[in-house]
């Protein structure tokens, strides 16, 4: 048996080498420079060894691999930027070489003359699946944990190690484009149906089946390397392709508004690559990948949606020196939909939950929410009956606060009323054990104010979930002025356990996400009042990169809640805190028209019974004199949406609410879908440069109001040519320590 740092190589009596990828000290295998060097050596060794008849490549972990390591991606960007400062032309040449390294390694495997079979278990994504595609055979487990995908487009790049050339030579072009431009995950059976894997077997048969493929005489030649190879569906110049290719760019533009260079590059790679020999296709892919890596979108998306998300998820903001807390029992007070959903995700993470409400009947109704979610998960094949039963057994409804006597964390999710919350705090703290943490799920009330009702404010923190809890990946962890480090550590340990991404923010009204969301919706109120047709408002927002228009989002949040927020702002901060025209609009919608949003099927949209789709309420156009479409500049509408949100994000930094730019970016994307191609609200500013942003904001302020005026911080950054990531460098402490 040959041993490497990240692999073991063992050859059996039949001459079949088993290469097992099992990186020490990591929960998942990832590609690093060292991994690639070792894999290269293994290819050389197995090729040169006459006793080796074939190779099975598998993972020693519960998952195959998640693809590239973030440190390798970061080093590629940093080396490119350093080289570019010296010689832009040489920097591109160096980048082109780096881009081709993995693709060249996989092509070397594919043409080694020995049959390779990939045995896929668990997650197999990105470069790991591209490696599998270079193998001559692929066997996947039928376990529901198997997720096969090329998800690179979600972080601003595309499958650049042969994926754009191998997938459309195995599957038909339409399915290949769908898979790569959306980054969708495939089950083993779906991958087999697309001809991307050869067999799907029981987990314990994975290695035997892979070895049997070699024993059965698997040819060590890829289909495209054989004479007479024909593309699935007949290739580019066929009647079917004549329907696909003219439509594909139009469909992509409809879905992305041209905001994602990587998605368009996938179309180009496939279209051009299928018309040339395979190795030429790889060069085409390499060229486009090098181009995409130089775009602002790729840099910003990789930084926020790949690197920063992983760093925050792994506890980048967790205080040092505090032992990790593994919570066994959590209490949730408030069994309404939000509290019940928090109980569900907690139980799904294997943690026992006591769900408290005013009486057992109300608490049991809360558990029924989990029962509905479990039923849905079973129907979609995400849970087995046994797993569902185990999950539900971990949720115990109760009307007695004494049942919280042994919890390590309590999450309060009751009505947004200070007096109601005060009563809950008193009742919980009467039984809460020493050292347990109290967290409020409030979305509007400052944590510091709520903590004044607590006898132990150091153990009081905010954990703000977003609805629907089981789908939304973000949580805001909010620090009151007296919140201690241990409370923060426990909160982050809990968020990690339920597999959410946390951002840590200091206390303020609306925290970070809701402050930005309210600016987004407020801008749409301004546009309505100006007479911009509602459909143009919604479409411009989506063209700017937002996943849902502001009016549709307001319907989801609830318009009557927007009215309560406006009234609360007036009560707490005075009449000048809001635009009176906004109060008039929202009061009319709620109090005169009875339109509360999706929850009563009447809001800015009408919601007819399914399967009919929602549509904008026709009478909305009668509220204000309407402008003609040709009088409205859609590009300005797009700018207004993005700039108003980015300005609010900048204000939170200036006020010390957000202290780490990674959290503003990740929070803006995961919290409400801020144009992901920008990398987030602060990356949007950094990407265009503070001076260009300040100039744009000043132009908008002249026409559309003082809320567009740049803040002093932005003016200072512009004057000094600085960025948010430069001035508020999240790695400064790490660099100093190093």
- 487, 571: one domain: no
- 529, 664: one domain: yes
- 505, 518: one domain: no
Task: Judge whether 177 lies within some domain.
Answer: yes
* Number of structural domains found in the chain: 3
Instruction: Reply yes or no on whether the pLDDT at 738 is more than 50.
Output: no
Instruction: Reply yes or no on whether the pLDDT at 171 is more than 90.
Output: yes
- 20, 60: one domain: yes
Q: Using CA atoms, how far apart are residues 302 and 74, in angstroms rounded to an integer?
A: 9
Instruction: Reply yes or no on whether the pLDDT at 21 is more than 60.
Output: yes
Among the candidates 509, 538, 553, a domain finishes at 509
Task: Judge whether 537 lies within some domain.
Answer: yes
Which of the 8 DSSP states describes residue 473?
-
Q: Using CA atoms, how far apart are residues 186 and 302, in angstroms rounded to an integer?
A: 23
Task: Give mean pLDDT, residues 619-632.
Answer: 94
Q: How many residues does the chain have?
A: 738
Q: Using CA atoms, how far apart are residues 427 and 404, in angstroms rounded to an integer?
A: 10
Task: Judge whether 187 lies within some domain.
Answer: yes
User: Count of alpha carbons within 13 Å of 411, Cβ hemisphere only?
Assistant: 32
Q: Using CA atoms, how far apart are residues 728 and 475, in angstroms rounded to an integer?
A: 22
Distances (CA, A) of 470 to 6, 126, 465, 514, 636: 35, 25, 10, 19, 36
pLDDT at position 737 is 40
Reported confidence tier of residue 151, pLDDT bands at 50, 70, 90: very high
Q: Using CA atoms, how far apart are residues 129 and 593, in angstroms rounded to an integer?
A: 54
- 438, 535: one domain: no
440: tokens are 């409020």
- 580, 659: one domain: yes
pLDDT at position 510 is 80
The pLDDT tens digits for 463-501 are: 999 988 999 999 999 999 999 999 999 999 999 999 999
pLDDT at position 2 is 64
Q: Using CA atoms, how far apart are residues 159 and 67, in angstroms rounded to an integer?
A: 11
- 605, 466: one domain: no
pLDDT at position 69 is 82
Q: Using CA atoms, how far apart are residues 594 and 602, in angstroms rounded to an integer?
A: 8
Q: Using CA atoms, how far apart are residues 498 and 621, in angstroms rounded to an integer?
A: 44
The mean pLDDT value of the chain amounts to: 93
pLDDT at position 78 is 76
Proportion of the chain above pLDDT 70, given as a percent: 99
Instruction: Reply yes or no on whether the pLDDT at 38 is more than 90.
Output: yes
Domain that holds residue 386: 329-509
Residue 122 contacts residue 59 (beta carbons within 8 Å)? yes
Task: Give mean pLDDT, residues 562-567.
Answer: 89
Instruction: Reply yes or no on whether the pLDDT at 733 is more than 90.
Output: no
Who has greater pLDDT, 250 or 573? 250
413: tokens are 């999710």
CATH number of the domain enclosing 379: 3.40.50.720
pLDDT at position 1 is 54
Hey, which residues does 395 pair with through a beta bridge? Answer: 353
The pLDDT tens digits for 111-144 are: 999 999 999 999 999 999 999 999 999 999 999 8
Task: Give mean pLDDT, residues 52-56.
Answer: 97
Task: Judge whether 300 lies within some domain.
Answer: no
CATH number of the domain enclosing 262: 3.90.226.10
The pLDDT tens digits for 292-301 are: 999 999 999 9
Rounded CA Rg of the chain: 28
pLDDT at position 474 is 95
Q: Using CA atoms, how far apart are residues 431 and 137, in angstroms rounded to an integer?
A: 60
Instruction: Reply yes or no on whether the pLDDT at 245 is more than 60.
Output: yes
> Would you tell me how many other CB atoms lie within 10 Å of the CB of residue 239?
8
Task: Judge whether 688 lies within some domain.
Answer: yes
pLDDT at position 736 is 43
Task: Judge whether 532 lies within some domain.
Answer: yes
CATH number of the domain enclosing 675: 1.10.1040.50
In sequence order, which residues have a C-beta less than 8 Å from that of residue 178 and are 6 or more positions away? 184
Q: Using CA atoms, how far apart are residues 622 and 352, in angstroms rounded to an integer?
A: 53
The pLDDT tens digits for 508-527 are: 888 899 999 999 999 999 99
- 540, 681: one domain: yes
- 144, 212: one domain: yes
Give the ranges where 381-484 is alpha helix by DSSP (H). Answer: 385-393, 418-429, 447-451
Q: Apex CA 673: angle with CA 655 and CA 76, to 5°?
A: 85
Among the candidates 278, 294, 310, a domain finishes at 294
Which of the 8 DSSP states describes residue 602?
B
Among the candidates 474, 509, 544, a domain finishes at 509
- 239, 175: one domain: yes
pLDDT at position 734 is 60
> Would you tell me how many other CB atoms lie within 10 Å of the CB of residue 457?
20
In sequence order, which residues have a C-beta less than 8 Å from that of residue 633 and are 6 or more positions away? none
For 320-354, the DSSP string reads: TT-PPP--SEEEEE--SHHHHHHHHHHHHTT-EEE
Q: Using CA atoms, how far apart are residues 478 and 491, in angstroms rounded to an integer?
A: 10
Q: Using CA atoms, how far apart are residues 683 and 724, in angstroms rounded to an integer?
A: 8
The pLDDT tens digits for 65-85 are: 998 886 777 777 777 888 888
Residue 199 contacts residue 209 (beta carbons within 8 Å)? yes
- 443, 533: one domain: no
Task: Judge whether 317 lies within some domain.
Answer: no
Task: Judge whether 129 lies within some domain.
Answer: yes
Residue 102 contacts residue 36 (beta carbons within 8 Å)? yes
What burial class does residue 576 get, using C-beta atoms within 10 Å of its C-beta: 0-12 exposed, 13-18 middle, 19+ buried? exposed
Residue 410 contacts residue 339 (beta carbons within 8 Å)? no
List, by residue number, the catalytic residues: 464
**At 120, which helix (H) or strand (E)?**
strand 116-120
**At 102, which helix (H) or strand (E)?**
helix 88-110
- 549, 627: one domain: yes
Q: Using CA atoms, how far apart are residues 64 and 141, in angstroms rounded to an integer?
A: 11
């Amino acid at each position: 048996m040959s041993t490497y740092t990240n692999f073991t190589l063992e050859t059996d009596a039949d001459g079949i080498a088993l290469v097992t990828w099992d990186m020490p000290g990591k929960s998942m295998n990832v590609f690093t420079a060292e991994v690639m060097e070792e894999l290269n050596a293994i290819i050389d060794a197995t090729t040169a060894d006459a006793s080796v008849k074939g190779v099975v490549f598998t993972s020693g972990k519960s998952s195959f691999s998640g693809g590239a390591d973030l440190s390798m991606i970061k080093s590629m960007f940093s080396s490119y930027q350093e080289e570019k400062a010296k010689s832009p032309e040489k920097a591109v040449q160096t980048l082109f070489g780096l881009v081709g390294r993995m693709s060249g390694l996989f092509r070397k495997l594919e043409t080694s003359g020995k049959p390779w079979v990939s045995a896929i278990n668990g997650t197999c994504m990105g470069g790991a699946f591209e490696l599998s595609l270079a193998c001559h055979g692929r066997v996947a487990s039928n376990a529901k944990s198997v997720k096969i995908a090329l998800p690179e487009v979600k972080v601003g790049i595309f499958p650049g190690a042969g994926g754009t050339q191998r997938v459309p030579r195995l599957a038909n072009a339409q399915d290949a484009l769908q898979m790569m431009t959306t980054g969708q995950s495939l089950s083993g059976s779906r991958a087999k149906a697309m001809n991307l894997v050869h067999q799907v077997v029981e987990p314990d048969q994975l290695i035997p089946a892979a070895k049997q493929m070699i024993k059965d005489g698997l040819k060590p030649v890829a289909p495209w390397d054989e004479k007479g190879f024909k593309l699935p569906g007949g290739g580019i110049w066929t009647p079917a392709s004549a329907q696909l290719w003219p439509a594909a760019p139009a469909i992509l533009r409809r879905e992305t508004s041209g905001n994602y260079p990587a998605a368009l590059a996938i179309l180009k790679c496939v279209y051009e690559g299928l018309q040339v020999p395979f190795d030429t296709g790889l060069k085409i892919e390499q060229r486009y990948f090098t181009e995409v890596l130089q775009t602002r979108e790729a840099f910003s998306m990789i930084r926020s949606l790949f690197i920063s998300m992983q760093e925050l998820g792994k506890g980048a903001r967790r205080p040092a020196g505090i032992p990790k807390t593994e919570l066994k029992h959590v209490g949730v007070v408030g069994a309404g939909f939000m509290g019940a959903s928090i109980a569900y995700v907690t139980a799904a993470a294997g943690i026992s939950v006591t769900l408290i409400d005013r009486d057992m009947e109300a608490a049991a109704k809360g558990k029924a929410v989990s029962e509905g979610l479990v039923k849905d998960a079973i129907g979609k094949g995400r849970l087995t009956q046994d797993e569902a039963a185990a999950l539900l057994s971990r949720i115990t409804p109760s009307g007695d606060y004494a049942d919280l006597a042994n919890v390590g964390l309590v999450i309060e999710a009751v009505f947004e009323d200070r007096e109601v919350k005060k009563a809950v705090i008193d009742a919980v703290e009467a039984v809460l054990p020493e050292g347990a943490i109290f967290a409020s799920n409030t979305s509007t009330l400052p944590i510091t104010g709520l903590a004044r009702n607590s006898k132990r404010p150091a153990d009081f923190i905010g954990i703000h979930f977003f609805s629907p809890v089981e789908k939304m990946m973000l949580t805001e962890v909010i620090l009151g002025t007296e919140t201690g480090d241990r409370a923060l550590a426990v909160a982050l340990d809990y968020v990690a356990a339920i597999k959410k991404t946390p951002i840590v923010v200091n206390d303020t009204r609306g925290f970070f996400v809701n402050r930005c969301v309210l600016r987004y919706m407020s801008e749409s109120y301004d546009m309505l009042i100006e007479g911009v047709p509602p459909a143009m408002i919604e479409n411009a927002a989506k063209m700017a990169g937002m996943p849902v228009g502001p009016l549709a989002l307001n319907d989801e949040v609830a318009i009557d809640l927007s009215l309560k927020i406006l009234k609360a702002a007036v009560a707490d901060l005075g009449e000048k805190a809001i635009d009176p025209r906004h109060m008039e609009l929202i009061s009319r919608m709620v109090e005169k028209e009875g339109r509360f949003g999706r929850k009563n099927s009447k809001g800015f949209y009408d919601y007819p019974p399914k399967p009919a789709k929602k549509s904008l309420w026709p009478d909305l156009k009668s509220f204000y004199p309407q402008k003609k479409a040709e009088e409205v500049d859609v590009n300005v509408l797009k700018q207004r949406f993005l700039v108003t949100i980015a300005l609010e994000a900048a204000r939170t930094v200036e006020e010390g609410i957000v202290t780490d730019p990674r959290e503003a970016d990740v929070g803006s994307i995961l919290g409400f879908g801020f144009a992901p191609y920008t990398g987030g609200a602060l990356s949007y500013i950094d990407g265009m440069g503070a001076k260009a942003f300040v100039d744009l904001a000043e132009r908008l302020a002249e026409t559309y109001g003082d809320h567009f005026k740049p803040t002093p911080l932005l003016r200072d950054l512009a004057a000094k040519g600085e960025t948010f990531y430069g001035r508020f460098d999240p790695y400064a402490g790490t660099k100093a320590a190093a």
